[in-house]
Structure 1
Amino acid sequence: MQQESHGRTVTNRCVPHPAAPADLPTTADAMFAYLHKSTYGEGDTRHDLGNEVVALAEGYLRPAARAALYEAVAKVPGLVARTDANGADGRSVLGITWTSTTGYGIGNQDEFLFDPVTFAYLGSGTTGVVVNQGIVDAVRQRP
């Protein structure tokens, strides 16, 4: 990556990272436990869990880990499926949301959005929509 700094070009080294974390749990119970202990030190409320789920879901996950993530989310009490949700692009989507015990809920802004036919993850809230996702072998390569 190159950027200008005080009239000179500074080059930062590109550090590759694995596309998918290899150590994520692949069962619902193990993923549920992982979510409870991995909430960035913020706490263990539904809101904190929701933030953790969004952080994981927006990345690339191995299929077994993604399935475990969704199965773990289904264990959270108080989930609500909304068939009247809309994605950031305006299309009708399936929204999964809940409110926290503190009154500060995931709500419409941060609900998980899925394609109502394929159930593919589309993003969260009104901030974005996953259009396509892929893995490449080299910098600047496109999937």
Structure 2
Amino acid sequence: MHRAPQMTTPWASRDLQRAWEKSYQDHRKKVQNAQPLVDTHPPQTYSHLYLKVKKLKMEEERLSIIDKDNCLLLQRVASAMKTRGQTDGQNNLTQRSLNRKTREQALKKVQKQSKVLPERLKRRVLVWSTEMAEGLGCHGQTSLQMRTDLEKRS
């Protein structure tokens, strides 16, 4: 069995070989310069998602209040240390009310009415008695009805 003779290169001519090598070199350059189509980078991190500005501001305000209170406490302790803990035991605070004037006016009005009431009762003559109402048969009637009944009778 004899085989047909094979050529050592697959090209029939040098022109075909050059054309094939040129296209192959172009292909190799394109492959080397190709960019990846799949994005393999991690996602972007946004600072507003991790850095809580309002929380930091509130924490800073809280710490400033604590610092202020500590400073006041330190001043009190320092003044107590200077005076060696001696106190005068006096309290110079006076209680002040925003409603004082109104309360005093109301109290004066009530006192004035209290003085006038006994005098009015002394001057008042008893017009109606329970015996008189029972004698006239006015049980269960209102005072207005009783007055009209008495006026009719007299």
Larger Rg: 2
TM-score, structure 2 length as denominator? 0.16
Structure with more helix by fraction: 2
Higher relative contact order (CA 8 A, sep 6+): 1
TM-score by length of 1: 0.17
When you count strand as a share of all residues, which structure comes out higher? Answer: 1
